[in-house]
Chain A
Amino acid sequence: MQRLLPRALVLLLVLAAAGDASGKRDALGADRIQPSIVRIVVHAQRPDWFSPWEFKQVEERSGSGFVVEGGLIMTNAHVVSDSRLLLLFLDRDPTGYPARVVHVAHDCDLALVRPEDPGILKQVPPLALGPLPRLRSTVETFGYPAGGTQMSVTRGVVSRIDDQVYAHSGIDSHLTVQTDAAINPGNSGGPVIQDGRVVGVAFQASLDLENVGYMIPPEVVERFLRDVADGRYDGYPDLGIRQSGMENPAARKRAGLRDDESGVRIDAVDPGGSGDGLLREGDIVLAIDGRPIANDGTVADGELRIRFGLLADRLQAGESVALRVLRGSARIDVPVPLRIYPPHRRHANAYDVAPRYFVYGGLVFEPLELELLKTFGDHWVAQGDKLLLDAFYQQPLQQPELMRRERVVLLRKLDHPVNGRMAWHRYAVVERVNGRAIDGLEDLIDAVESNRGELQVFELAHLRRLSVLDRRAADAANAEILARYGIVADRRL
């Protein structure tokens, strides 16, 4: 399930820069587990979406991980993302062993890492996955919090199981287990153990609540492992619908629900998503895979009630869910083959990718995506350009077809005589170039480069803003502008 609106409530548990050794040794039956826990030190470097040809300072962070079958180490995606150098430290071994990321799932914050020298794990027993821990049962978390080089173990009870937004991507929400066992920065990627088996991967903590840490439950871990079994991580498919509850009796009555029926109303269907062509706005979804959906959108799942979309979460792209739908007065069964919906990733935090961009006549163009908006600073929702935020978050709600398109933003201008008197030159979605509607960065580049006219005319979204360049002057100035501003290449696609 994906949510496309910004929110911030959790702390990711990597530790920025290692500090003094202050970890503690705990003997809570940990001796058998301890050798399988590793400390991961990562030197990472993020690109700069404001100057997309540049990268920021290298940062050092540390997290935890544990050995699984196949000579691999499981950890969080946020521990290893954007890594330039990745070092593994085994239990009571001061040597840092280089490793590389084999699979990373930014949408569920999991990763698999392999040491460059597979021999170092020969003597290390892999940990096995256990079942979902029961509510109120006791669990132990293992890891290297607070910069310690010695392993730490803490104990707590499972206090809640529900779906939460995974802060690493910021838009994906999956089943999550909450515990009051102390989970601190540096714990990220460490295993949560019950009866000698892994029942969760520690990954984030609440900023609002005390003693609340979160772990990724076995079903999410298993789904990740199934996904990568073919050697590639594909990611979560999505039903591609927005829905609202039917708690109000009048809504149920008007929809024609019988007293023994319940469900949710489909409010929107993502164009090109799994439900496109199969589901319609106004459909009432009564059941998923035979399980009745309550009026608040939940289904019974063992001892839990979970959002019905989480059932689709357990599947891989290409698998189907069967929805029972009330459409008008007909009750019909609709099999929905699940697809991944790449457009949603523009709303997610991006990792392990460098920004796409194009510089022409000193104008910097980039696709409209979350990372671009984050260049407005830590409080980008408040401080960001409101027209751009509106274009990103609100316009696709009104015009869903926009979801399919890569929209391109004129981000800013590198000052040069060729563009010096331009009236509009930043934070605007480019609607048309030389009269041609733009669909994606490549399309914009083509519209610019195939133009033989005297002028390059950029029509910007909202309020009929216009920017124009003298084509010959801009063509002639390009190389000089790149050199003046230290830009190696005019584009990255």
Chain B
Amino acid sequence: MTGRRGGPLLGLALGLVLAPSTAAPPVREVYEQSVVALTVTYQGWDADRPWAKQRPGVRQASAVVVEGSRLLTTAQIVADATFLQADKFGRSTRANPRVEFVDPEIDLALIAVDDPAFFSDLVAAPLAALAPSEGTLRTVRWRNQQLESAASRVKRIVVESSTFTSVEHPFLTVETDLDGGGWAEPVFLEGQLVGITVSQNERRARVLPVEILARFLERAKEPATYRPFPVFGALWQLNTDPALTAWLGQVGEPRGILIRQIPWGSSACGVLEPWDILLSIDGQPIDAEGFFAHPRYGQLRFPAIFVIDRTAGEVVPIQVLRGGVSLDLRMMLRAYPAAQELIPAESGSGAPPYRIAGGLVFRELDGEYLRTWGRDWASEAPLRLLGRFNTEQNGQTPERRRIVLLTAVLPSAYTIGYHGLENLPVETVNGIVIDSIEGLNRALERPQDGFHTIVLAPNGFRREIVLEAAGLEAATAEILEEYGIPAAGRASAPLPFDPGPPCPGDY
């Protein structure tokens, strides 16, 4: 919460900390010296042709100087980045920033600049202790060498899922005067950083509050032992129906939420069971719609309890009504990164794993791939894929890590009869159940009686593909040559964290 020690700005920063409510601080200098413009050249992978990249694009965004000579921005801004440029005082500089640490789950990233001189005339933005629940804030960015400082009025605090992941946490929603914001602009109150924007729709912007920023910065100091933000993880529903609560053995007014399904490896695994009513977490009673009373922000949805003050690995007491009996249990909080989903909604910025075998193109089913059906992918993608996404997204188990798809067949003589097959989930290859590209690769090393047999999930088109094993390698080489594909496959990225021992859910 202080500026960099030494230099002419120390007094200013200390002044903010010690006496924020005295005479109006010279906040404009804070903005000028702590907000930088970020230009990100990015190039994502082509989900349809996972060996290729999409056309490159450029994002104009913001970052804010934080303690330790780092720039803080959102993870989405640096996703798929191929080149970064940081401009201070609205003018381009020769710094070569690089992404140092990213937590895509909470949507934050730290950027380092190797040239220490870059920070010589910059100052870390002082962090406010708490995000305000009302009042007018300033959203700040550089545009055309001008510092824009737009009023942003706090509308309310909401608990929603992070931009791309299942981490639910509080956001400030503000009505802003800034045009076209939502690109990681820092938001200040009286010269103190209170948040960073993550999105803007017309005048309504979502702001990641300073409580989250502060905890991210604290934990990111030790990247090797970074403790991720915890996720509740279980599927639940409102418990407002007195008939339903009567069936569950609850007496009196409905309260608590009804647990429906528990994914493997989620915080709730091994602790909660289907049809439990979760009555309180960490001593905070939860109402029948999933809200608890936050001392400052009023009624908030309960996942906020985990995210603000807890980290993965901590144990919290919970109270549960099970079969009409109240139980006091302890729940260890866990992260639930997208990689732990059977069908990850987000694959992060990782290159998609794939395999080409004699013209058959395989990849894992994920949100990236579904979004190739365009803006209306949730209605336009094939039903057989949407059905799985809608019912099994969180259904990963140790035995079933991913759904592997035959996405397409690149035509050649070797695959005659199979051309035109597309987007079909694979069940087994050479008798081995397939749950990842790695598993597929291993299975393709074990042909049976000279053949590869690929069994597809029942689909109405074709159940089985048989290929001559002896010809596979040559056919693959020919396909790569013919279709200009650089490599026959790419391995999956390892899990971004150690998931610990398997923890059973009820999928």
Tell me the B231-275 residues at the A interface (CB within 8 Å). 235, 237-244, 246-247, 258, 260-261, 274-275
- Is B376 a contact partner of A248 (Cβ separation < 8 A)? no
- The CA of A4 and the CA of B247, in the complex, are separated in Å by 39
Q: Which residues of B contact A421 (CB under 8 A)?
A: 240-242
Chain B residue nearest in CB terms to A385: B390
Chain A residue nearest in CB terms to B459: A397
B316 touches A (CB below 8 Å): no
- Is A268 a contact partner of B246 (Cβ separation < 8 A)? no
B458 touches A (CB below 8 Å): yes
Tell which of B242, B261, B390, B468 touches A253, judged by Cβ atoms closer than 8 Å. Answer: B468
Tell me the A460-493 residues at the B interface (CB within 8 Å). 462-470, 473
Chain B residue nearest in CB terms to A282: B464
Contact A242-B390, Cβ < 8 Å, known A394-B383, A455-B243, A465-B260:
no
Closest chain-A Cβ to B450's Cβ sits at a distance in Å of 8
- Is A248 a contact partner of B417 (Cβ separation < 8 A)? yes
Contact A267-B463, Cβ < 8 Å, known A386-B378, A455-B247:
yes
A437 touches B (CB below 8 Å): no
Contact A390-B386, Cβ < 8 Å, known A246-B417, A465-B260:
yes
A251 touches B (CB below 8 Å): yes
- Is A468 a contact partner of B243 (Cβ separation < 8 A)? yes
B332 touches A (CB below 8 Å): no
Contact A248-B467, Cβ < 8 Å, known A267-B458, A470-B243:
yes
- Is A470 a contact partner of B261 (Cβ separation < 8 A)? no
Contact A5-B460, Cβ < 8 Å, known A245-B417, A382-B376, A386-B387:
yes
B384 touches A (CB below 8 Å): yes
- Is A265 a contact partner of B463 (Cβ separation < 8 A)? yes
- The CA of A183 and the CA of B457, in the complex, are separated in Å by 42
Contact A464-B242, Cβ < 8 Å, known A250-B467, A394-B383:
no
Count of interface residues, chain A, beta-carbon cutoff 8 Å: 49
- The CA of A395 and the CA of B457, in the complex, are separated in Å by 11
Q: Which residues of B contact A465 (CB under 8 A)?
A: 237, 260
B483 touches A (CB below 8 Å): no
Contact A383-B379, Cβ < 8 Å, known A246-B417, A424-B237, A455-B243:
yes
- Is A393 a contact partner of B383 (Cβ separation < 8 A)? yes
Contact A387-B260, Cβ < 8 Å, known A248-B416, A398-B457, A454-B246:
no
Most buried by A among B240, B458, B461, B465: B458
Binary per-residue interface labels of chain B (438-459) against chain A in the complex, 1 for a CB within 8 Å, 0 otherwise: 0000000000010101000111
Closest chain-A Cβ to B124's Cβ sits at a distance in Å of 46
Q: Which residues of A contact B383 (CB under 8 A)?
A: 381, 386, 389-390, 393-394
- Is B391 a contact partner of A463 (Cβ separation < 8 A)? yes
Closest chain-A Cβ to B77's Cβ sits at a distance in Å of 32
Q: Which residues of B contact A424 (CB under 8 A)?
A: 237
- The CA of A470 and the CA of B246, in the complex, are separated in Å by 9
Q: Which residues of A contact B241 (CB under 8 A)?
A: 421-423, 467-468
- Is B391 a contact partner of A244 (Cβ separation < 8 A)? no
Q: Which residues of B contact A4 (CB under 8 A)?
A: 460
- Is A463 a contact partner of B261 (Cβ separation < 8 A)? yes
B101 touches A (CB below 8 Å): no
Q: Which residues of B contact A247 (CB under 8 A)?
A: 416-417
- The CA of A390 and the CA of B467, in the complex, are separated in Å by 31
Closest chain-B Cβ to A390's Cβ sits at a distance in Å of 3
Chain B residue nearest in CB terms to A457: B247
Most buried by A among B247, B258, B261, B386: B247
Closest chain-B Cβ to A219's Cβ sits at a distance in Å of 27
Contact A244-B386, Cβ < 8 Å, known A249-B468, A455-B246, A466-B244:
no
Q: Which residues of B contact A386 (CB under 8 A)?
A: 378-379, 383, 386-387, 390
- Is B391 a contact partner of A390 (Cβ separation < 8 A)? yes
Tell which of B387, B464, B465 touches A389, judged by Cβ atoms closer than 8 Å. Answer: B387
Closest chain-A Cβ to B4's Cβ sits at a distance in Å of 51
Contact A390-B390, Cβ < 8 Å, known A244-B461, A463-B261:
yes
- Is B466 a contact partner of A250 (Cβ separation < 8 A)? yes
B162 touches A (CB below 8 Å): no
- Is B459 a contact partner of A254 (Cβ separation < 8 A)? no
Closest chain-B Cβ to A467's Cβ sits at a distance in Å of 8
B415 touches A (CB below 8 Å): yes
B164 touches A (CB below 8 Å): no
- The CA of A372 and the CA of B54, in the complex, are separated in Å by 41
Chain A residue nearest in CB terms to B391: A462
B282 touches A (CB below 8 Å): no
Closest chain-B Cβ to A233's Cβ sits at a distance in Å of 28
Tell me the A241-293 residues at the B interface (CB within 8 Å). 242, 244-251, 253-255, 265, 267-268, 281
- Is B415 a contact partner of A463 (Cβ separation < 8 A)? no
- The CA of A397 and the CA of B247, in the complex, are separated in Å by 34
Q: Which residues of A contact B59 (CB under 8 A)?
A: none
Q: Which residues of A contact B247 (CB under 8 A)?
A: 455, 457, 466, 468
Tell me the B329-381 residues at the A interface (CB within 8 Å). 376, 378-380
- The CA of A257 and the CA of B387, in the complex, are separated in Å by 37
A295 touches B (CB below 8 Å): yes
Q: Which residues of A contact B275 (CB under 8 A)?
A: 466
B42 touches A (CB below 8 Å): no
Chain A residue nearest in CB terms to B274: A464
Closest chain-A Cβ to B276's Cβ sits at a distance in Å of 12
Q: Which residues of B contact A245 (CB under 8 A)?
A: 417
B91 touches A (CB below 8 Å): no
- The CA of A253 and the CA of B471, in the complex, are separated in Å by 14
B462 touches A (CB below 8 Å): yes
Chain A residue nearest in CB terms to B254: A421
- The CA of A248 and the CA of B378, in the complex, are separated in Å by 35
- The CA of A395 and the CA of B468, in the complex, are separated in Å by 32
B418 touches A (CB below 8 Å): yes
Q: Which residues of B contact A469 (CB under 8 A)?
A: 243
Q: Which residues of B contact A267 (CB under 8 A)?
A: 458, 462-464
Q: Which residues of B contact A381 (CB under 8 A)?
A: 383
- The CA of A398 and the CA of B388, in the complex, are separated in Å by 12
- Is A254 a contact partner of B384 (Cβ separation < 8 A)? no
- The CA of A462 and the CA of B243, in the complex, are separated in Å by 21
Q: Which residues of B contact A394 (CB under 8 A)?
A: 383-384, 387
- Is B417 a contact partner of A387 (Cβ separation < 8 A)? no
Closest chain-A Cβ to B506's Cβ sits at a distance in Å of 9
Closest chain-B Cβ to A483's Cβ sits at a distance in Å of 22
- Is B390 a contact partner of A387 (Cβ separation < 8 A)? yes
Contact A295-B417, Cβ < 8 Å, known A244-B464, A267-B463, A389-B383:
yes
- Is B462 a contact partner of A244 (Cβ separation < 8 A)? yes
Closest chain-A Cβ to B268's Cβ sits at a distance in Å of 14
- The CA of A421 and the CA of B240, in the complex, are separated in Å by 6
Closest chain-A Cβ to B363's Cβ sits at a distance in Å of 20
Q: Which residues of A contact B462 (CB under 8 A)?
A: 244, 267
Closest chain-A Cβ to B461's Cβ sits at a distance in Å of 7
Tell which of B235, B260, B380, B387 touches A390, judged by Cβ atoms closer than 8 Å. Answer: B387
- The CA of A242 and the CA of B458, in the complex, are separated in Å by 10
- The CA of A457 and the CA of B451, in the complex, are separated in Å by 51
- Is A387 a contact partner of B391 (Cβ separation < 8 A)? yes
Q: A400-B458, A470-B243 are in contact. List 18 more A-B contacts (CB 8 A).
A: A244-B462, A248-B415, A248-B416, A248-B418, A248-B467, A251-B466, A254-B451, A265-B464, A267-B458, A381-B383, A387-B390, A390-B386, A393-B383, A394-B387, A397-B459, A398-B458, A468-B243, A470-B246
3 residue pairs, one from A and one from B, having the closest CB atoms: A247-B417, A390-B387, A267-B463
| 24 A/B residue pairs, CB under 8 Å, sorted by A | A249-B468, A250-B466, A251-B464, A254-B451, A254-B453, A267-B462, A267-B464, A281-B463, A295-B417, A381-B383, A386-B379, A386-B383, A387-B387, A389-B386, A390-B386, A390-B387, A393-B383, A397-B457, A397-B459, A398-B458, A422-B241, A463-B261, A464-B260, A466-B260
